[in-house]
Chain A
């Protein structure tokens, strides 16, 4: 017979705002149901309004933990990536978000924590940041979480991908946790920084092959190496995406355009023919 063990919530005893900002925060039924509704609604909206196109879904690992790394140019990026993952893992998906923005006020922190399940990274706090990332690494491993990370540190103001800050590599260096490089395109035009309206522009998400960095040491050099490798893979994805865009006939709108051109050509020929026939008569 086993003794009963109570495993209280890790955030028991924290005030509401403290709990929202804590990396030891745990989900419950209420937040789980809220997230389910939110993700289902967001999926539908992105599909209809932004014609969201997700490629490489077969590359997603079957089980957490893993880390999704992507380029960042819009607030939409987080929801696009979260909506691409299985609803089953909704309480394990945590975007790592800027604490000084997403957790600045209690209402914003409440939304970020309860709906987005975001975890804060305090960009302007020099002291304690290593400890913070250590906590996040521990949570990733122990609670089999899925992190969404944007290593550029902030949204790109010109739509182009910038250099990666190596700090995120602390989470995965020397572990068997897979990293999933992803490339997002279209989100910058759909919702650029400093705007709140979402334009009906097409968004494409390209998911790359997962890879691990088990052999890379958890040190400054290793982090830089990981950041550089992951960035290169995302750049490769973007190149592949633009090349497939040019020549791949599967694209709905290109196909429609092609059909319209062919139809117009045929119609014109037919009309010419008719005119020619009549003219000849």
Chain B
């Protein structure tokens, strides 16, 4: 591993080199400082109920460590991002497995664990082809691993759930780690994470103010058409504003490309949310976990992130050429 690769993976001194990173971090910190003041003021003037106040406090406290967990690795270096993404993938998959009952199929869980670890290695190694191959390879092993048990009952269910879980929470979320191999990964990841998280908030707020017509009432009774359209407009606007600085001097620095990127993030963010809502309704649970106070589980918080990373990666690769081409490749395996 040469010094360039080492610097890229663990070089934290360059954290604020890109102006968007510094500005975004300041804005996020400012929001975290202002939020309790707003909650306190609203409660003081009895504009919110005590129950809502309590819930907002819980959410704000959770956001403190969630922000540190998301922004911290981005600032510390690409290696930490890849590790954090692998851990997030594993936590999300575990929640999915516990909710569906798949966690009792230990061989399949072990294959998915190995698959997520292999994705991490492919990311650290910067071996894109290996990463892409792992989707097919891991799904194949999941299909094969329980055959020796000679138990055809429930075969399709366990293999289907295992493959879906790996593809959604391991492979798809793992693309964030693959994106970290690009030289401008810090502003790029902040753009993706911020727009996906704000997309949820925009949909919620616009839906509360203007929403009356339900989007898909059986899957998610809380989502409205107005909220969805509002999020589409606001998130696209946000991506276009931030994207101008993030992609300055590249083929992406034009309104039409940024418009497409914004629509892609907002649309897929909402669809990811709906996928997890459909899973929850099918299983019959409200939340998939309880580890994030005020939010639920990991998947309740990061559901919108499930479809976005692969789409953004391939869209940017299509527009700009393969991401991370200017960085050393196969730094562990050579070749």
Seen from chain A, the residues whose Cβ lies within 8 Å of a Cβ on chain B are: 2, 4, 6-9, 12-16, 26, 28-30, 32
14 contacts between A and B (CB under 8 A): A2-B153, A4-B157, A6-B101, A8-B98, A8-B101, A9-B99, A9-B101, A12-B99, A26-B103, A28-B97, A29-B103, A29-B109, A30-B94, A32-B106
Inter-chain contacts of A26 with B (CB < 8 A): 103-104
B110 is an interface residue with CB less than 8 A from chain A: yes
Are A6 and B287 in contact, with the CB atoms below 8 A?
Answer: no
Are B290 and A28 in contact, with the CB atoms below 8 A?
Answer: no
B113 is an interface residue with CB less than 8 A from chain A: yes
Are A29 and B113 in contact, with the CB atoms below 8 A?
Answer: yes
CB nearest to A4 among chain B residues: B157
CB nearest to B286 among chain A residues: A13
The proximity string for B residues 61-96 relative to A, scoring 1 for CB distances below 8 Å and 0 otherwise, is: 000000000000000000000000000000000100
Cα of A9 to Cα of B94 in the assembled complex, Å: 11
Are A28 and B94 in contact, with the CB atoms below 8 A?
Answer: yes
In chain B, residues 138-163, which have Cβ atoms closer than 8 Å to a Cβ of chain A? 153-154, 157
Inter-chain contacts of B98 with A (CB < 8 A): 8-9, 12, 28
Cα of A6 to Cα of B158 in the assembled complex, Å: 10
Cα of A9 to Cα of B109 in the assembled complex, Å: 14
Seen from chain B, the residues whose Cβ lies within 8 Å of a Cβ on chain A are: 94, 97-101, 103-104, 106, 109-110, 113, 153-154, 157, 282-285, 287, 290-291
CB nearest to B106 among chain A residues: A29
Inter-chain contacts of A4 with B (CB < 8 A): 157
Cα of A4 to Cα of B97 in the assembled complex, Å: 15
Are A12 and B285 in contact, with the CB atoms below 8 A?
Answer: yes
Shortest C-beta distance, B114 to chain A (Å), equals 11
Is chain A's interface secondary structure helix, strand, loop, or mixed overall?
loop
Inter-chain contacts of A29 with B (CB < 8 A): 103, 106, 109-110, 113
Inter-chain contacts of B153 with A (CB < 8 A): 2
Are B94 and A8 in contact, with the CB atoms below 8 A?
Answer: no
Cα of A73 to Cα of B157 in the assembled complex, Å: 48
Cα of A14 to Cα of B104 in the assembled complex, Å: 18
Inter-chain contacts of A14 with B (CB < 8 A): 290
Given that A13-B287, A14-B290, A28-B109 are known contacts, is A8 also in contact with B99, CB under 8 Å in the complex?
Answer: yes
Inter-chain contacts of B103 with A (CB < 8 A): 9, 26, 28-29
Inter-chain contacts of A30 with B (CB < 8 A): 94
Shortest C-beta distance, A33 to chain B (Å), equals 9
CB nearest to B90 among chain A residues: A30
Inter-chain contacts of B157 with A (CB < 8 A): 4
Are A8 and B113 in contact, with the CB atoms below 8 A?
Answer: no
Inter-chain contacts of B282 with A (CB < 8 A): 6
Inter-chain contacts of A8 with B (CB < 8 A): 98-101, 283, 285
Are A16 and B291 in contact, with the CB atoms below 8 A?
Answer: yes
Shortest C-beta distance, B104 to chain A (Å), equals 8
Are A6 and B291 in contact, with the CB atoms below 8 A?
Answer: no
Are A6 and B110 in contact, with the CB atoms below 8 A?
Answer: no
Cα of A15 to Cα of B98 in the assembled complex, Å: 14
Partner of A7 from the list B101, B106, B285 (CB cut-off 8 Å) is B101
Inter-chain contacts of A9 with B (CB < 8 A): 98-99, 101, 103
Cα of A8 to Cα of B284 in the assembled complex, Å: 9
The CB with the most chain A CB atoms within 10 A, among B109, B153, B290, is that of B290
Shortest C-beta distance, A145 to chain B (Å), equals 15
Cα of A26 to Cα of B99 in the assembled complex, Å: 12
CB nearest to A18 among chain B residues: B290
